[in-house]
Structure 1
Amino acid sequence: MQLQTGQARQQKQATPRLQGVACWLVVILLMTEALSGCVVHHLSADCRSSGLQEVPAHLPPDVTHLDLSGNHLSSLPNLTFSHLPHLLWLDLSSNTIDDLEPDAFANLTLLQVLSLHDNRLRSLPTSVFRPLPALRSLQLSGNWELWNVLAPRNQDIWKDLNLELFDLSGNSLESAAFPDTFSAMKSLKKLYLSGNQIQSFSKADFAKFEGQDFQTLDLSLNPTSRVEPGFFKVFKSVDDLDLSQLDLSLSDLQGIFADLAGANLTRLKVNDFEFSPSVFSALRPDTFENLAGTSLRHLGMSSSAVQDISDHSFRDLAELVTLDLSLNALSRLPQQAFSGLPKLQVLVLSSNPFSQVPGEALAAVSLTLETLELNDVPVDEIHPGDFGNLPRLTHLSMSGLLNGRLQELSPRCFQGLPGLTVLNLQQNRLAGLPDGVFSGLHNLQVLLLSQNRIAQLQETSFSGLPNLRVLDLSGNNLLASLPERIFHPLKSLEELRLNENSFSNFFGAVKLNGLNKLRRMNLTSNNLGLLPIFDPVSTLEVLDLSDNQVFNEKVTYVSERPFRNLSNLVYLSLSDNRLDVIQKTDTSSFFEGLGSLKVLKMSQTGDPWKSFRNATIFYALPALRVLDLSSSGIAALPRKAFWVHSHLEGVDLSNNEILSLPGQLFPPTPTSLQVLSLRSNRISVLPETRYDYFVRGLEILDLRDNFFQCDCDVRWFIAWANSSGVVQGWEGGTYTCSSPSSLRNKPLSSYNPDCMTYTSLYACIVTTSLISLYILTCFAVHKYGWWFGYVFYVAGRTFRRREVARNPARRFRYDAFVAYSSRDERWVTEELVRNLENGDPSYRLCIGARDFVGGVAITENIARSVEASRKTICVVTRNFVQSSWCNYELQASEGRYRVFDPWRSNLVLVFLERVPDRVVARHKQLRTVVERDTYLVWPRDKRRGPLFWARLMDALGEPLGQNDQPDLDLIEEDFV
């Protein structure tokens, strides 16, 4: 029995440590919606609250831990678990089981822990536990009608069992007379009989356990009015004893205390809040005198209606380490209330009506007290000296768990507590922190101030705290007007919690200066609309920005690379922000700098690939292992979206609009991928070529609530799901056919289509047909090639006439698009532009360096420019031939013109220098044009220049009219 409260334990662990990635994977993926079905992870199957009416038949046979609690199991037939021979741990609690067949647990020879808590069992078959030779822990609590389970006629049920823990709490037992078969159960260490109807305990009832050592004996919550004298002398020792809420008088309890004098008792819990008057309403020096011979270390008297404690009441408990007096009626304590407790370390006085800190009474234990809990006491203000001098106190809690009253802290109010490491003031009514309030707390490491009413802070509010590691200011009314150097004194701060405040604009990176050890920051649930550059906090490992207004439509600027200095960041949450309005600036490098990030949460943020306008936005996160993109309106994923993420372990894409996964979504061998959730999407087909390469390595796959098309393409998936046990909820009715209509609502697990294929025959027919067609085509071209040429000539002439008849000014923006190497730009600007654009007649030229649209991909600019130009001038040099972009421009121009007019030359080649034939020959496209069309050569003799320009203008034809405006309706889709 651990009497130290949960609050104290949380305080002692209040400095959280960064857990491994596996921990994040479980927290983020396994403990989400996937838990509404069986989640199989390693050797554990978690089927809690899945609506199951029977035990799943297709779980992996090597499972060792199975949790079926919270389902609708009503019976366990014979051989229910025979397919799981390796089970060590089985939880069947909180079901409606009212029938166990004798061989329900057959084949579970390794099972050690079995829980049948909170069911409807009325009886147990005699041989039901016989197949469980390794059983060590059995919980039968909460079966209210199992009142006769210890009757002599049922003694064979327990034959051959060798239990260490046996829980019979809450079963309406009227007697604690254990049958003879328990005399062989020498290993029993923990026995729970709480919450039954046992009215008395006698030595004969427990004679079967004579001489045994018990670690835990719980007799609480029974209407017991008599315990036979000498009852506890039956046992050799009892370490942890709970006598709470028994209908016993103080003299009865003192008699029990006398029996326990030699029982090595270390933990005792007694209270009687349901009985009036309370036997403990007033504690006196003789109350515990019969426990003087014990080694009692922990005493729990919570909810005992204690109103008064006399001096020296605990003088006979010299070994006491923990004393719990919470939830009583103490309004004052005498100065010597705790005298005689030389080893007391933990004192719990929470939920008592103290109007001020009982500092005088604490002086008696000042040299040993380490933890003091005064939660939920009506103390309005703390003054200097209220605690006296407690040099060894390390944990102090004054949180208002139910109705916090603390409103004001005076300067130096914690003086006398130099060793304090954890201070909990949560859930009170503090409005501010005066200067010097924490003076003297040089060793303080954890300061919890959440859920108060703090709206303003002084620049020196946290001065004097050089060793503070955790600061929790969440749930207050803080605005953006924090003093600039408020965190500067906190040189050792590792965790800062500012969530659930009213920040509308982050207080600025400069105010985080000095936090050179900050590892965790929580800014969730504020009104943040702008991200800073986290320059001075490069040590951050965990950053939570969820549930804010980052990127909302009112923000006029978003930093392009806000995380560029966070090279150590491991966990980042941007969930519940809006990415669909991030169009304010260039964010293609938004995640740059996060080279160590392992967990990224972006649930309910919008489609990231659309928002960032970058198909490779996550490539900046090479170490990513867990990605949550659930509920983000994603309709399609780009190919190779996770191509670089070789360490990816879990992806949550549930609750989106995905129709299908693209090919090559994951690396070719994604051996690390363990968990994938695609639940509640619009997936209808599961082609084996797209899914097979990664799903067979998964440990968890969730595809529930999709729209499956039942045909032969899904057969491979059904066979794999039936045999693997990886598909979550496979037998829960959430995988059904949506089409065709004749199979609608049919479970996929039972769909077995007749898929006799004729693939080889079809392949033979198609291959033969293609070969025959090829031979026929070759013959026709060889014999009638001249005829085909004539037909193409006539068709081209007709098409050409139609295009010439159209007004070119309504089709084209430019007379010519100029394709050239950047190294030849000087000739283009000084010669070509001067003679064609500034000459007479004047041509409209499209020059890339001048006319390409900013912010558009180069390939798209080239395509648009070619489409908007009547002709293309290629300035051919060695530089041009070696340039990949120039070759692309040549191919784009040639391809565009060949489509519209296969026989008309719209390319004009201008050779500025002699290019060797062998170089031209290596470039098929250029060679084809040179062999087909006439080209121009830039003369070295300037006297031949006029002839060159005349020939070039003749090749370009008449320029577009100077007053003509291009028809925007015709070219809009290319240039909008």
Structure 2
Amino acid sequence: ILFLLLLVCMVIPVGGFALKNCHVSRNTALCHNEILNAVPQDVPKTVTSLDLSGNKLSRIRRADFSHVPHLIQLDLNRNYILQLDSFSFSNLTSLQKLNLNHNKLDKLDSNVFHGLWSLTELRIAHNKIKVVSSTSFQSLPSLRFLDISYNKLQNLTNANMILEQLPQLQEFLTNTSVQLHAVDLSLNPFQDFRITADVFPNLLRFSIGLNKRKPLKWDVKKTFLRRVSSLDISQLHLTLSDMRSLFQAVNQTLTLLRLNAMKQNPNKLINLSCSVPSMSTLQFRRNKLRRIEARLLELCTNVTKLDLADNDIQAISEDAFKCLLRLKTLTLSGNKLPFVPSATRNLPGRYKLDLKSNSINRLQCQDFANQTELRILYLQNNSISNLKDCVFEDLVRLKILKLQSNKIIKLNNAFKRHLPNLRFLYLSNNQLAMIEKEEFKGLRSLQNLSLHQNNLGDLNEMSFSGLKNLIHMQLKANNIQKKDLDSDAFNALVSLKLLDLSNNHVQYKSEHPCKAPFSHLSHLEDFIFSAQRFRLKSHLPARGNYYVDLQGNTFTCDCNNAQFLRWIKTSNQTQFYDAYNFLYRNPPSFKDKKLLNFDPSSCMVDTGFICFVSTTCSIVGLMLASLMFHFMRWQLVYSYYLFLAWLYDFRHQNKQSANQYDAFISYNNHDEPWVMDELLPKLEGEQGWRLCLHHQDFEPGKTSKIPFSTEPALLHLFSSFRLFDDQKDVLILIFLEEIPLNQLSPYHRMRRLLKRQTYLSWARAQNPQVFWEKLRRALQSGDDLDEGRFCPGLLQTP
């Protein structure tokens, strides 16, 4: 489980991915204990190790491993495999180790291991194999280790043919070969064991044993075990005479003897075994020893390693080991010793002492006196509650000390001045509540410190003082909080590479940058911070990682997790451990539903952003409307009524009644003589137009054209006339005199209109007939007359 160093509390985007049933770490795919019924196909093809142990696979098919061609190690241990198809592993040409232990195979067919040219280790123990084909192993030319023990083999008539196919085989754990170094026939249902030929000339290790009530019939040639150095006859039911013959056969070469769970008298067995002068290691477990006296081991003068574990030993006489002058390793684990036996003090040259899983409840200063050569001390799984500052003072060469799973409440300066060469200290699963200042000051060589599963809290800046060479520290499952991280307690760990703070009570209440608690740990590589035990919302500092473990955290089903879900599903840089099993806890309707089943597409609509845009637009619109009303309110009113007039005209354009007049004549009183003498006779008398004069017969009504004669003084009256604004050609302008341009300048709008509209000039009409003809044509034109229909040059011709 890998977490990169948290140097600053800021969010750095990274990519991630998650496999549905497996976890990938350093080219190793871990798919164990997932209740799989088939080999997963989403494993990356680059993995070199695949662990599928502890599942429910019942059959291995030909194409199951075609997607992982680079596998070097494959573990199929503890499944329910009944059948291996031929050529099942043909694609795994690089595979070196294959474990099929603890399955239900009953036979090995031909070509079942075809393609495994590089396989060096094959384990198929604890199955139900009865039949092995003569060609089952023909594709394994590199095989060196074969374990086929704990099956139901009763005879191997084709053993020689099988072994000839394995030229490199060195260890065959169930049968024999000329070049074999080890044979394991344990727990096979043999009733007779007869070997009358010298078929094991190179045999070095031999194991045989079973749980039958009847003694095994032993008929073996004396030279059978002449080179054996390791012999395991645990649970073997032999008569004492047969056992004496067996020991005589290995009298010169035997160095390791295992006599576990024997039915014979333990005193006689030890005396008989210690009569072998070459034996240096004796394992004598589960033989129901209650007490050890000096005479029990008086013949074991050459023993260097003595294992008396799991014997229910309650007492050991003070001189019990006085004859074991060469003893280096003593194992007394799994007994019922109430204290450290004084007999162990008489072995100054001892290298390892194992006292785990006893009933020891206290340690005295003299318990390890004069043990200056002791390197390894196991005291875990006892009932020790307190330590004294003098208890380890003579262990100057001790490298490994295990005190986990006791009841230790305080350390009492036990490590403040002593154990200068200690490398590994295990104090997990105790009842430690705090670490005093400079408590570990004497452990200047310590590299691995395990303090998980305690009640540790209230750390201070001197808690880990002196641990300059510490590399790994385990602090998970304690009571560590954010204030402990901010106490500079970890500043002294300048060489630390791995720190596990998972399952504590660290809570960050703000997303803002905070103090970096591990900024002094320049060598930190792996930081584990999963499953912090708090209920309220918390913001964990985040940064780029390659492997993320968030097991045990609480997830709430809402849109705040949408980006987190996309991070897991769409990227390929960071793996989230066990992501497909993350469950929701809130709200109650989504409780125990899987996190990755949530559809984040429903979170794409950002209601807050929409409300922000709408509000902003409304405010800006209101401000613009206020400004326009303040500065342009009359223009707006005028435009409004102009629009109403246009709308009225548009709606009634097809409903208009016929006009009573062809034209309405508007003129100045000074121009009445010209109108009455010139205009009226010409238009009504000669051309037949019906005219309405505003001094004579004006009535409200609409006319199609309005000939209008005027003087310069009246031109400003037309500046706001609606017909001009409607841009309709309903006016015919007649100028009876020349109008200087300087008089038009104040009336910019009229000047612009005269530049682009048609008008008639009487003053420049040298030929009156032309003027009247132009006027007639103007009156005949419709309302849609465009501006260019009568060009100014033509209408203003003098």
Task: Calculate the TM-score normalised by the size of structure 1.
Answer: 0.51
1:373/1:132 Cα in 2 relative to 1: closer, same or farther (>3 Å)? Answer: closer
Query: Shift of the alpha carbon at 1:463?
Result: 4.0
Which residues of 2 match residues 935-974 of structure 1 at below 5 A?
none
Which of the residues 547, 554, 579 maps onto 1:703? 579
Query: Shift of the alpha carbon at 1:433?
Result: 3.6
In 2, the alpha carbon distance for the partners of 1:691 and 1:251 equals 61
Which residues of 2 match residues 754-903 of structure 1 at below 5 A?
none
The residue aligned with 2:259 is 301
Which ranges in structure 1 are unaligned for 5 or more consecutive residues?
1-18, 23-33, 195-205, 311-324, 326-332, 543-568, 661-679, 709-732, 742-772, 793-976
> Quick check: 1:587–1:612 contact (8 Å CA) kept in 2?
no
In 1, the alpha carbon distance for the partners of 2:505 and 2:517 equals 15
> Quick check: 1:79–1:106 contact (8 Å CA) kept in 2?
no
The residue aligned with 1:233 is 198
In 2, the alpha carbon distance for the partners of 1:176 and 1:228 equals 14
1:636/1:418 Cα in 2 relative to 1: closer, same or farther (>3 Å)? Answer: closer
Secondary structure of 1:288's counterpart equals helix
The residue aligned with 1:617 is 516
In 2, the alpha carbon distance for the partners of 1:465 and 1:618 equals 35
In 1, the alpha carbon distance for the partners of 2:457 and 2:425 equals 20
Query: Quick check: 1:627 aligned with 2:527?
Result: yes
1:62/1:394 Cα in 2 relative to 1: closer, same or farther (>3 Å)? Answer: same
> Quick check: 1:628–1:653 contact (8 Å CA) kept in 2?
no
1:66/1:528 Cα in 2 relative to 1: closer, same or farther (>3 Å)? Answer: closer
Residue type at the aligned position of 1:656: N
In 2, the alpha carbon distance for the partners of 1:653 and 1:40 equals 15
Residue type at the aligned position of 1:244: G
Query: Shift of the alpha carbon at 1:504?
Result: 4.4
The residue aligned with 1:573 is 475
In 2, the alpha carbon distance for the partners of 1:485 and 1:88 equals 47
1:729-773 Cα distance to aligned partner (Å, 9 max, x none) = xxxx995454679xxxxxxxxxxxxxxxxxxxxxxxxxxxxxxx9
Secondary structure of 1:45's counterpart equals strand
Secondary structure of 2:180's counterpart equals strand
Q: Report the count of equivalent residues.
A: 589
The residue aligned with 2:562 is 684
1:78-119 Cα distance to aligned partner (Å, 9 max, x none) = 333333333333333333333444343343334344344444
> Quick check: 1:514–1:536 contact (8 Å CA) kept in 2?
no
Query: Shift of the alpha carbon at 1:258?
Result: 1.2
The residue aligned with 1:176 is 156
1:383/1:250 Cα in 2 relative to 1: closer, same or farther (>3 Å)? Answer: closer
In 2, the alpha carbon distance for the partners of 1:41 and 1:460 equals 44
Higher RCO (CA 8 Å, separation ≥ 6 residues): 2
Which residues of 2 match residues 375-386 of structure 1 at below 5 A?
375-377=309-311, 379-382=313-316, 384-386=318-320
Secondary structure of 1:609's counterpart equals coil
The residue aligned with 1:68 is 52
Query: Shift of the alpha carbon at 1:185?
Result: 1.6
1:215/1:735 Cα in 2 relative to 1: closer, same or farther (>3 Å)? Answer: farther
1:853-908 Cα distance to aligned partner (Å, 9 max, x none) = xxxxxxxxxxxxxxxxxxxxxxxxxxxxxxxxxxxxxxxxxxxxxxxxxxxxxxxx
**Greater Rg by CA:** 2
In 1, the alpha carbon distance for the partners of 2:559 and 2:479 equals 21
1:196-225 Cα distance to aligned partner (Å, 9 max, x none) = xxxxxxxxxx8xx5xx21122223323433
1:521/1:570 Cα in 2 relative to 1: closer, same or farther (>3 Å)? Answer: closer
> Quick check: 2:454–2:478 contact (8 Å CA) kept in 1?
no
Query: Shift of the alpha carbon at 1:418?
Result: 1.6
The residue aligned with 1:220 is 186
1:78/1:488 Cα in 2 relative to 1: closer, same or farther (>3 Å)? Answer: closer
Which residues of 2 match residues 634-649 of structure 1 at below 5 A?
637=539, 641-642=542-543, 649=546
1:344-398 Cα distance to aligned partner (Å, 9 max, x none) = 33233444444543434545444x4322233344554555433215443222222
Q: Percent of aligned positions with the same letter in both sequences? A: 24
Residue type at the aligned position of 2:71: L
Query: Quick check: 1:258 aligned with 2:222?
Result: yes
> Quick check: 2:384–2:406 contact (8 Å CA) kept in 1?
yes
Residue type at the aligned position of 1:265: V
Query: Quick check: 1:94 aligned with 2:57?
Result: no
Query: Shift of the alpha carbon at 1:338?
Result: 6.4
1:29-50 Cα distance to aligned partner (Å, 9 max, x none) = xxxxx99832233443222222
Residue type at the aligned position of 2:465: V
Residue type at the aligned position of 2:229: T
Secondary structure of 1:105's counterpart equals coil
In 2, the alpha carbon distance for the partners of 1:700 and 1:282 equals 63
The residue aligned with 1:190 is 171
Secondary structure of 1:114's counterpart equals strand
Query: Shift of the alpha carbon at 1:54?
Result: 2.4
1:128/1:681 Cα in 2 relative to 1: closer, same or farther (>3 Å)? Answer: farther
Query: Quick check: 1:605 aligned with 2:504?
Result: yes
> Quick check: 2:467–2:493 contact (8 Å CA) kept in 1?
no
1:413-444 Cα distance to aligned partner (Å, 9 max, x none) = 44431212322223333343444333322222
Query: Shift of the alpha carbon at 1:176?
Result: 2.0
Residue type at the aligned position of 1:625: E
Query: Shift of the alpha carbon at 1:307?
Result: 0.7
In 2, the alpha carbon distance for the partners of 1:183 and 1:595 equals 56
Residue type at the aligned position of 2:248: E
In 2, the alpha carbon distance for the partners of 1:536 and 1:156 equals 62
Residue type at the aligned position of 1:258: K
Which of the residues 336, 343, 346 maps onto 1:404? 336
> Quick check: 1:345–1:371 contact (8 Å CA) kept in 2?
yes
Query: Shift of the alpha carbon at 1:129?
Result: 3.4
The residue aligned with 1:417 is 347
The residue aligned with 2:279 is 344
Query: Quick check: 1:288 aligned with 2:252?
Result: no
> Quick check: 2:468–2:492 contact (8 Å CA) kept in 1?
no
The residue aligned with 2:292 is 357
Residue type at the aligned position of 1:599: L
> Quick check: 2:457–2:480 contact (8 Å CA) kept in 1?
no
The residue aligned with 2:233 is 270
> Quick check: 2:80–2:104 contact (8 Å CA) kept in 1?
yes
Secondary structure of 1:509's counterpart equals coil
Residue type at the aligned position of 1:74: S
Query: Shift of the alpha carbon at 1:260?
Result: 0.6
Residue type at the aligned position of 1:405: L
In 1, the alpha carbon distance for the partners of 2:345 and 2:505 equals 52
In 2, the alpha carbon distance for the partners of 1:458 and 1:70 equals 45
1:149-185 Cα distance to aligned partner (Å, 9 max, x none) = 23xxx54545555344444444433432127742632
1:355/1:222 Cα in 2 relative to 1: closer, same or farther (>3 Å)? Answer: closer
Query: Shift of the alpha carbon at 1:189?
Result: 3.2
Which ranges in structure 2 are unaligned for 5 or more consecutive residues?
5-17, 585-593, 603-616, 633-798
In 2, the alpha carbon distance for the partners of 1:117 and 1:484 equals 48
1:183/1:361 Cα in 2 relative to 1: closer, same or farther (>3 Å)? Answer: closer
Which residues of 2 match residues 541-560 of structure 1 at below 5 A?
542=470
Query: Quick check: 1:84 aligned with 2:50?
Result: no
Which of the residues 389, 413, 432 maps onto 2:362? 432
Which of the residues 209, 216, 224 maps onto 1:244? 209
Task: Calculate the TM-score normalised by the size of structure 2.
Answer: 0.61
1:178/1:652 Cα in 2 relative to 1: closer, same or farther (>3 Å)? Answer: same
1:341/1:131 Cα in 2 relative to 1: closer, same or farther (>3 Å)? Answer: closer
Query: Quick check: 1:651 aligned with 2:548?
Result: yes
> Quick check: 2:565–2:600 contact (8 Å CA) kept in 1?
no
The residue aligned with 1:534 is 462
CA RMSD of aligned residues (A): 4.8
1:788/1:622 Cα in 2 relative to 1: closer, same or farther (>3 Å)? Answer: farther
